[in-house]
């Protein structure tokens, strides 16, 4: 098989297309001929050397694919060769063939292309876990979505729109038209205004019910402050610590040093009770490792098949241009998902 390999820690130039042995599905597994693979910030951090859960190098990263079932292992009855599927991959997604447990696979709706399918397992599962499971978002509530034009941001907007929430989203001014088209009622240019002050102005001092924040850590405390009574903050990323295509040790150390003050440690428990607010931490990879994605992917597939959600693909790059795909995402040029194709 062909695979994009992270040969060593460094900038995008360390990515190489190599030939590797074809994987063989074992009991309860199936093999997918990959047609599209999603690119995520975790991949960039693994390449740069700032992601603690990354596999030892050299390695093939990638958390999600869409393609066609090539073969199945013993005991697999849910799928057969030729089925169109999307799947979560515990690394290994940047390859022309992947082997995954059957529990990490769902059928790709006929209305969706492979590139759209590759946008679902990470982005939509994260948005669903954050906004619906943890955030408990309900009709009529207000939600603030940071990085609203990114892959998770677009997914969260679509889910919030489906629920019937009032949506606030931070994004560069050049991306406001795009997030409005997805259903964001109040785009906020975080370069021009303080997002917390703007949210409070727009809500007449009331605040919002749910905040999804992957920017952190310095944004976490301000996101907490814009919550109204009964509000929920979901922290699920540290984008501030990945400031460019290469490892920025200074930014990483600075960000991690701020974590104890930016988040809500144990000694704030009494204040949190008095403030009637809640804080959640979300790491979908850890969720996936501990119990799989059975609570996330099947309900998402129903919404996708019904046309309630429609993944947005920002750009597609062939394997040979994987380095450019990483640069494109690192520079935050994307509105939606960045995808690789074999």
Please name which of 11, 9, 106 lies closest in space to residue 65, comparing C-alpha atoms. Answer: 106
The closest alpha carbon to 237, from 116, 145, 102, belongs to: 145
Cis-peptide, bond into residue 217, ω within 30° of zero: yes
The reply to whether 144 and 261 lie within a common domain is: yes
Please say whether the beta carbons of 192 and 176 come within 8 A.
no
Query: Is residue 86 one of the residues assigned to a domain?
Result: yes
Q: Do 256 and 320 share a structural domain?
A: no
CATH number at residue 158: 3.90.180.10
Per-residue pLDDT tens over the stretch 240-284? 665 555 555 555 555 555 555 555 555 577 788 889 999 999 999
Burial 211-242 (b: 16+ CB within 10 A, else e): bbbbbbbebbbbbbbbbbeebbbbbbbbbbbb
Helix (H) or strand (E) holding 147, with range, is none
Spatial CA neighbour of 262 closest among 216, 211, 229: 216
User: In terms of domains, do 197 and 133 share one?
Assistant: yes
Q: What is the reported pTM?
A: 0.89
Together in a domain, 106 and 189:
no
Report if residue 98 sits inside a domain.
yes
| pLDDT tens column, 61-86 | 999 999 999 999 999 999 999 999 99
Determine the average pLDDT of the residues in 13-26: 98
The H or E element containing residue 77 is none
The pLDDT score that the predictor gives to residue 53 is 85
Alpha-carbon distance values, 69 to 111, 210, 261, 339 (Å): 18, 38, 48, 19
Do 127 and 102 lie in a common domain? no
Q: How many residues does the chain have?
A: 342
What is each CA distance from 148 to 23, 41, 169, 171, 178, in whole angstroms? 37, 15, 5, 6, 10
User: What count of Cα atoms within 13 Å lies in the side-chain half-sphere of residue 61?
Assistant: 28
**Residues 142, 13 share a domain:** no
Half-sphere exposure of 189 (CA within 13 A, CB side): 9
Question: Residue 97 belongs to what domain range?
Answer: 2-119+311-341
How much is the pLDDT for 126? Answer: 96
Residues 326, 317: Cα–Cα separation, whole Å: 10
On whether residue 135 sits in a domain, the answer given is yes
Shared domain for 101 and 165, answered yes or no, is: no
Q: Specify the higher pLDDT residue, 256 or 153.
A: 153
Asked if residue 261 and residue 151 are part of one domain, the reply reads yes
Number of domains making up the chain: 2
- pLDDT exceeds 70 at position 44: yes
Same domain, 146 and 266: yes
Q: Is residue 298 part of a domain?
A: no
Same domain, 142 and 86: no
Is residue 302 a part of any domain in this protein?
A: no
């Amino acid at each position: 098989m062909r695979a994009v390999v992270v040969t060593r820690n460094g900038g995008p130039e360390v990515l190489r297309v190599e030939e590797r042995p074809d994987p063989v599905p074992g009991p309860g597994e199936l093999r997918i001929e990959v047609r599209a693979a999603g690119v995520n910030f975790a991949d960039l951090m693994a390449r740069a050397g700032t992601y603690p859960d990354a596999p030892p190098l050299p390695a093939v990263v990638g958390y999600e694919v869409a393609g066609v079932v090539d073969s199945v292992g013993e005991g697999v009855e849910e799928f057969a060769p030729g089925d169109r599927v999307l799947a979560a991959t515990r690394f290994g997604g940047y390859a022309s063939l992947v082997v995954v447990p059957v529990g990490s696979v769902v059928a790709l709706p006929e209305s969706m292309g492979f590139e759209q399918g590759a946008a679902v397992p990470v982005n939509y599962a994260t948005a669903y876990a954050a906004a619906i499971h943890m955030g408990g978002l309900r009709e009529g509530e207000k939600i603030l979505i940071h990085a609203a034009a990114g892959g998770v941001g677009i997914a969260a907007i679509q889910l919030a729109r489906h629920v019937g929430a009032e949506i606030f989203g931070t994004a560069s001014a050049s991306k406001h038209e795009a997030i409005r088209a997805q259903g964001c009622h109040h785009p906020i240019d975080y370069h021009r205004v303080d997002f917390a002050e703007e949210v409070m102005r727009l809500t007449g001092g009331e605040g919002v019910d749910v905040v999804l924040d992957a920017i952190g850590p310095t944004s976490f405390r301000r996101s907490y402050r814009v919550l109204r009574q009964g509000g929920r903050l979901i922290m699920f990323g540290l984008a501030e610590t990945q400031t460019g295509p290469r490892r920025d040790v200074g930014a990483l150390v600075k960000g991690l040093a701020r974590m104890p003050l930016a988040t809500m440690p144990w000694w704030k428990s009494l204040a949190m009770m008095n403030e009637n607010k809640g804080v959640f931490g979300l790491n979908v990879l850890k969720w996936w490792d501990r119990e799989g994605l059975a609570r996330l992917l099947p309900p998402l597939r129903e919404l996708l098949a019904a046309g309630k959600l429609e993944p947005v693909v920002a750009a597609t790059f062939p394997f040979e241009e994987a380095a450019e795909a990483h640069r494109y995402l690192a520079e935050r040029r994307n509105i939606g998902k960045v995808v690789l194709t074999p």
